[in-house]
Structure 1
Amino acid sequence: MGGSQKVPDTQESQTVFAVAGLGAPVEIRIDRWGVPHLYASSRQDLFLAQGFNAARDRLFQIDLWRRRGLGLLSEVFGERYLEHDRAARLFLYRGAMDDEWRSYGPDVEPAARAFTAGVNAFVELCRRQRELLPREFELLGYEPSLWEPSDVARIRSHGLHYNLGEEVSRALTLRDFGPQVEELRRVREPSPHRLRLPEGLDLSVIPDDVLRVYRLATVAPWAAPSAGSPPPSRAGLDGSNNWVLDASRTATGRPMLANDPHRALTLPSLRYLVHLTAPGLDVVGGGEPALPGVSIGHNGRIAFGLTIFPIDQEDLYVYRTDPEDPTRYRYGDGWESMVRVTEQVPVRGGNDAEAELWFTRHGPVIRRLPERNAAFAVRAAWLEPGMAPYLGSMNYMGAESAEDFTEAMRAWGSPGENQVYAATDGTVGWMPAGRVPVRPGWDGTLPVPGDGRYEWAGRHEPGTLPSARGPQDGWIATANQMNLPPGYPNAERTVTYDWYAPYRYRRIAETLESRHDWTVEDCVGLQSDYVSLPARSIQPLLSGLTSDDPRVAQALEMLRDWDARLSADSSAAALFEIWFRRHLRPALLRSALRQLLPADRAEEALVRILPAEDAAADARVDLGLLLAPGDRLGPDPAREVRRIILDSLAGAFAEAESLLGGDPGSWQWGTLHHSLLRHPLAELLRERTGSEPEWASVGPAPRGGSGDTVGAAAYTSAFRQSGGATFRLVVDVGSWDESMAMNSPGQSGDPRSGHYRDLFDAWAADSAFPLLYSRPTVEEHTERIVTLRPAPEGP
């Protein structure tokens, strides 16, 4: 297991900066893996130094984060981004900042002020010392901006938001094809769950593009298809694994915690590892570089790690508008006026543009359809005070005990999270948290009329969510699966009906349960486990099947004798993934749809219900049709299953030959499945400068896994990995220096740094490096020291 070779930074090994606002010097020790360890004499100085250091390593990334979130892309990139800027502004927090800061408690606003002051100090330094400015600013011809403390709280559209897309997908499928087709699109849990069309909802009025503005706001514009259509929903791409083991399950007799969040693969990484030390606080782990604090890690007393707990925090409201005035909508017995907000959007190379924003009592208006006397708005819990994504981690990262930690989590807002924790006293536990709206008499699975019949009635109290501590089996794991315990009254206290597929969790569970001698290295290995439970479930169906087609016979032999591991060097893995996703799945769904619809309508419906190619997808519908088809595949389902398997294998084998050559013995999954990281503005850099810098790409590297494996690796139609865990953490509770981490491609976002891509190869090889904690160990592995000193006061 080990780390990458030491790569010296391009700057001096010792650097001193004078920083305005510091009360005393702060020492930053950067270890050989690029992790900064910050030592300050006060929390004020610590968070100011965190902001300065985040800008030192990630200035272009966090500047872009701020511009995208505030709707200021057009100011530097031109009018093509006006739609994105208008959309982002619709989804800013627009309440009183006093209410916002108060929602987090007394410590968050001072930390945000210090953090943004630190960012600004580095921006000002770059303006004086141009050599410190990241290359992107020079190539694209603009300057980094100064921050306001409110920026870290007002920006909400970078969070993880899902349910609105599911509501609309359900509504459009019901509108066009009916409830039986919707049952083939997605599984709902807890089951059984019958869809109930809200009284007064006219499905026909909902346009196909109703979520265009919402998606422009919540998905980065550089993730959009080149054709200019709005980016797709990212549902299914973002997930996570985590688990805790108590002392009875480990070789050391100490608890362990593991966490590997799954997000889109980016350059630089979404997360940033940092160690923050000041009187009363000594925390190390990962957070988002634009925010103060740490959200995943440990503080020397308790370790903590999160996965998505997919609370339904969104609703689409459908309004009947006044034929005489489309800015008025029916509410109760009368008409209510929308609120109009007009803002000026600066545009590079042109005049400022006017952004006209409309709001109802429920939230931002994302679509108006005056020709149908209709309008549509989003109500989102994450637009309420105290709901800035991950900012609430400031309240728990200093917890001194399991009780402190769980009490702090009661105030957590967004996104919904499964938090697992492990303390030095041996306590391990699970606590889901997040704001759960109360929907009296309705469940949030479909859009609802906005006329007052479907209002939220506050929120469920935090104590109403289930939790666990001291598990009898000695372990707890979550992987976004439906983990409400038996008897939980979801009909009365609905969390959601849109959970992730259970396969990652089931594989983690069977593996954790199999032994009592877990080590840190073993947990790192499990984070990259590539066993496909869908593949293992399908293999028994291949037993006894024969074919006169030699290619199909060979395919059957390859898959029957395979260990169901999607290893990068596996030929059977390559065949299975080509077969399952590109041939078997559509064949099964097509057969089921033809029992319900005429052939031409079945093909139209197939396009609607096939999972997005680059999402993690969900094999539950496919496996249900294969293993328990009932009458969904016609009067002789066993015969139909055999036909589908054999016919689709023929097509898959032929495609594998065209992609990988005629010798199946030479096929490898990693030849197709790969990671290639791209700078978000690579294309714009090429457009502006005539060429693309070498550092705008990292990779490619062969990869194992899929969206169904613990080592999550969702991929596009071109087999390029689109999602997964570039950040991983395993904590040895109580022997902190034995902990391991990964943050690919590197800690720095500055292409001139030796830590820009130094971890990519180790990550691609499923390795990890030591996450250091004790001062002597940090000093032993220090590569560079950055000292921040108070700047002399000006005249």
Structure 2
Amino acid sequence: MTTYHLPGLAAAATLKIDRWGLAHIRAEGLHDLFFAQGFNAARDRLWQIDLWRKRGLGLLAADFGPGYLMQDRAARLFLYRGDMAPEWAAYGDDAQMICTAFAAGINACVDQILAGKMPLPAEFAALGTQPAHWAADDVVRIRTHCLTRNAASELARAQVLALADPDTDLLRVPLNPAVPASEWAVNAGAGLPAHALAVFELATAPVTFSPDRLAAGLDQAARWSRVDPRKTVVQAPSMEGSNNWVVSGARTASGRAIMASDPHRAHAAPSLRYMVHLTAPGIDIIGAGEPSTPGIMAGHNGHAAFSLTIFCADQEDVMVYDTAPDAPTRYRHCDGWEKMQTVTEVFAVRGHPDQRLDLRFTRHGPVVWEEPGRALALRTVFTEPGTAPYMASLKSMRATTWEGFKTAVDTWGAPSVNLVYADVTGDFGWQAAGYVPIRDGWRGLVPVAGDGRFEWQGFLTASTLPRLDNPAQGFVHSANEMNLPPAAQAGPAIGHEWFMDQRAARIAAALGARDDHDLASSTALQTDTGSPFAARLIALLPQDAPGRDLLALWDGRSEVESAPALLYEVWLSSHLRPALLDRVAPDPDLRRFLVPGNVPVVTELLEGKHPALAARAGLDAPGAQDALLRDTLTSALADVTGRFGTDPTAWRWGDLHHGWFDHALTPLGTSFDLGPWPKGGGNTSIMLAHHEASDYRVRIGASVRMVIDLGDWDASVWINAPGQSGMQDSPHLADLAPLWAAGEYVPLAYSAAAVEAVTVETITLLPG
């Protein structure tokens, strides 16, 4: 047993670490509980959360030099700068106390490390830096690590409309509900450069390291002002999504409800998510959150279970201004001119004197691009109080009734989410939550003029967004699909850019197909590798296409051991979609906005549902589509044969498709990346395992998965990849990755007896 004496702690607290790295934290009061959570987060993930904090507050250059100055400036443009009283109030009466305690716990761990009583994470030593102390405000003022919405898509759509037409843009992202052609009359994006949102992209980008960037001099600072083109050139909606559902007791074998949650995000080492168990008088919660944030966002409290997916509401607008020729900081608004607010900030820069840089803001938000006569600002809910990512969970995670849960999330600002809930009384439901701007006269799909014609008229919140209360079908679910009921579609525009609906449709079909659901059926559904498009695309192949016979016998599941999955996935990703886009957009300036090509729209195009696009691709000519399909499958067959040999019985999808977790320091020659692990699934499966054709590494998908048995809590299961810890010498750095890759789970111990049975290490925290 390890013991630490920590100033600021009122009474003893314990951290029981189980065999899978999950910390079960017990304290005698709320302050000490969240103090201990902060200490534990720093114990396991200090390099990660320290980097996140410095990135979000714009403090990177102080540690890493001039190559990070422009990213610091970009981040500070999007910090919350409003009154802290309504900010704290949005998250609950005790939110400020919780964040103060959480920050104090992190600082207590930092002090132990700086005093040599705990190990310094290897990354600090590699870069010659040290961890910093936190303030309570740091937890909530940072907005740039939140999932963003469609600002980049608005700009990309303006680019496509300048080069082609709205039909072509559907290959980038389809719109649901569809919009009339008159919508494009509001477009103010004509002539904007493709990099006009580079500052925003930089503000929200992860921190990257390279020898050149670290060695940059002050005269080279401006060189590091745009995100790598590989990450920004497509400007398509992120593949980050999620699945969740609740099956009521009326449809389970046990009569108890089941909740499943698997949020999809970009994979990294260490994991974005962190599992924790928090117990004190009046609170006993367990589940997943982010290590830099107190509490949890998905899990259960011994009475109710809850989880979230992204609800694709539009929370951003790109605003374009005419500026005065003789005064570029003045912009036209209504019948006159307004002056931008200029804030001069001081930036510490390693090895150089402090730098003073100007930040400019319009009435709508931060100015991110300027040229003579024009400027561009981003209007976003981030500037509103109550929009720190997931922080309203501090209220909702403690709710024990459906009505109380819905009340708690009415101040959920960002990101906009689908929340599912169930409790042991039998209540369950779905609630959309988030601050959704009310727009009058436009739908937020293209840049608009900032001259006063396009103003937000307040916000929709959870109480005015759609919900389902104990629906008769006996389940609720979400998977980022377009799930607006007709009444919501008829009101103010909520959003038009959703993820493909087929993943949600497969989930709904599976949940509605039986009345004896159990934990095993939900874990099987979470790890379902089937493609909803494979059979449709294979059915279009001409009979004489080489390789068709292998695909025709396939069940459409991209399992690790599957030979047909290997051929199909290579055909779709490396041959069919690129060839189709070459036909639709031979101009590379247009094509770069469309790649890789939306799979549902590609499928529908080939099925004849987009005749204008088919004509643009030349597929309306007799035999042209058959030739495209035959030629691309022939190329894919040669590709797979060249890589894996001529014997299809020896092919395995998992030989190409690998789970992989990048570490930020790898470009510096370290060996901190984790992988590979053979991985099933694909870009359209319920078990999202998103890859790019460049290397087929799985870099987006579920890291955390949970399936919770309401009432028999200890029967619940979870997994988090690659592991719970970010410490390079920890046994929990990557111990869960092989299980995750194989679709397996570990027990989610909750009761005191179950926790004790799986505890392998106890850490005791005592007052200083």
TM-score bucket (shorter structure) = over 0.9
Contact 1:589 1:622 (8 Å CA) reproduced = no
Q: Deviations over 1:660-715 (max 9, x none)?
A: 2333332211111112222222223x3xxxxx24xx02111111111200010111
C-alpha distance 117-252 of structure 1, shift in aligned 2 (>3 A): same
- Paired residue for 1:29? 16
Alpha-carbon distance in 1 for matches of 2:71, 2:322:
27
Contact 1:28 1:786 (8 Å CA) reproduced = yes
- Paired residue for 1:10? none
- Paired residue for 1:700? 676
- Paired residue for 2:378? 378
Alpha-carbon distance in 2 for matches of 1:580, 1:192:
29
Alpha-carbon distance in 1 for matches of 2:33, 2:184:
53
C-alpha distance 65-647 of structure 1, shift in aligned 2 (>3 A): same
C-alpha distance 459-198 of structure 1, shift in aligned 2 (>3 A): farther
Stretch of structure 1 that moved more, 522-531 or 125-134: 125-134
1:204 corresponds to which of 160, 185, 190: 190
Contact 1:283 1:300 (8 Å CA) reproduced = yes
Corresponding position: 1:665 with 2:657: no
Alpha-carbon distance in 2 for matches of 1:30, 1:766:
23
Q: Aligned-pair distance for 1:347?
A: 1.3
Corresponding position: 1:783 with 2:760: yes
Structure 1 residues 532-551: aligned runs within 5 Å: 532-542=531-541, 545-547=542-544
Alpha-carbon distance in 1 for matches of 2:716, 2:421:
15
Corresponding position: 1:773 with 2:753: no
Given residue 189 of structure 2, which amino acid in structure 1 is its aligned partner? L
Alpha-carbon distance in 2 for matches of 1:194, 1:395:
43
Corresponding position: 1:510 with 2:505: no
Contact 2:103 2:135 (8 Å CA) reproduced = yes
Structure 2 unaligned spans of 5+: 214-225
Q: Aligned-pair distance for 1:405?
A: 1.1
Contact 2:35 2:105 (8 Å CA) reproduced = yes
Corresponding position: 1:676 with 2:663: no
Alpha-carbon distance in 1 for matches of 2:374, 2:321:
5
- Paired residue for 1:6? none
Q: Aligned-pair distance for 1:638?
A: 7.0
Contact 1:256 1:732 (8 Å CA) reproduced = yes
Alpha-carbon distance in 2 for matches of 1:256, 1:637:
52
SS at match of 2:436: coil
Contact 1:84 1:216 (8 Å CA) reproduced = yes
Alpha-carbon distance in 1 for matches of 2:393, 2:589:
45
Corresponding position: 1:179 with 2:179: no
C-alpha distance 26-202 of structure 1, shift in aligned 2 (>3 A): closer
Alpha-carbon distance in 2 for matches of 1:494, 1:202:
19
SS at match of 1:569: coil
Structure 1 residues 73-84: aligned runs within 5 Å: 73-84=60-71
Corresponding position: 1:44 with 2:28: no
- Paired residue for 1:588? 580
Query: Identity across aligned pairs (percent)?
Result: 43
Alpha-carbon distance in 2 for matches of 1:95, 1:566:
49
- Paired residue for 1:218? 204
2:341 corresponds to which of 329, 339, 342: 339
Q: Aligned-pair distance for 1:779?
A: 0.9
Q: Aligned-pair distance for 1:175?
A: 1.6
Given residue 682 of structure 2, which amino acid in structure 1 is its aligned partner? S
Q: Deviations over 1:145-200 (max 9, x none)?
A: 0001000111000000021111111111112223332244321001355451354x
Alpha-carbon distance in 2 for matches of 1:637, 1:621:
20
- TM-score w.r.t. the length of structure 2 is 0.94
Structure 1 residues 219-298: aligned runs within 5 Å: 219-222=205-208, 229-230=228-229, 231-232=231-232, 233=235, 235-298=237-300
Q: Aligned-pair distance for 1:32?
A: 1.1
- Paired residue for 2:630? 646
Alpha-carbon distance in 2 for matches of 1:580, 1:179:
24
Contact 1:630 1:637 (8 Å CA) reproduced = no
Given residue 702 of structure 1, which amino acid in structure 2 is its aligned partner? P
- TM-score w.r.t. the length of structure 1 is 0.91
Alpha-carbon distance in 1 for matches of 2:209, 2:721:
19
C-alpha distance 739-194 of structure 1, shift in aligned 2 (>3 A): farther
C-alpha distance 357-241 of structure 1, shift in aligned 2 (>3 A): same
Alpha-carbon distance in 2 for matches of 1:165, 1:289:
28
Q: Aligned-pair distance for 1:753?
A: 1.4
Alpha-carbon distance in 1 for matches of 2:628, 2:573:
13
Q: Aligned-pair distance for 1:345?
A: 1.2
Structure 1 residues 681-760: aligned runs within 5 Å: 681-684=665-668, 686=669, 692-693=670-671, 696-716=672-692, 717-760=694-737
Q: Aligned-pair distance for 1:590?
A: 4.2
Stretch of structure 1 that moved more, 185-194 or 396-405: 185-194
Given residue 76 of structure 2, which amino acid in structure 1 is its aligned partner? R
2:126 corresponds to which of 139, 164, 168: 139
Contact 2:313 2:494 (8 Å CA) reproduced = yes
Structure 1 residues 456-605: aligned runs within 5 Å: 456-485=456-485, 487-542=486-541, 545-547=542-544, 552-553=545-546, 555-592=547-584, 600-601=586-587, 604-605=589-590
- Paired residue for 1:365? 367
Q: Deviations over 1:45-66 (max 9, x none)?
A: 1111111111111111110110
Given residue 19 of structure 2, which amino acid in structure 1 is its aligned partner? R
Contact 2:173 2:237 (8 Å CA) reproduced = no
SS at match of 2:109: helix
Q: Aligned-pair distance for 1:570?
A: 1.0
Alpha-carbon distance in 2 for matches of 1:374, 1:775:
63
- Paired residue for 2:52? 65
C-alpha distance 168-405 of structure 1, shift in aligned 2 (>3 A): same
Q: Aligned-pair distance for 1:131?
A: 4.4
Contact 2:154 2:447 (8 Å CA) reproduced = yes
Q: Aligned-pair distance for 1:219?
A: 1.6
Number of residue pairs the alignment of both structures matches: 747
Alpha-carbon distance in 1 for matches of 2:116, 2:265:
35
Q: Deviations over 1:211-268 (max 9, x none)?
A: 1111101121329999973532573321000011011221211000000000000111
Stretch of structure 1 that moved more, 96-105 or 728-737: 96-105
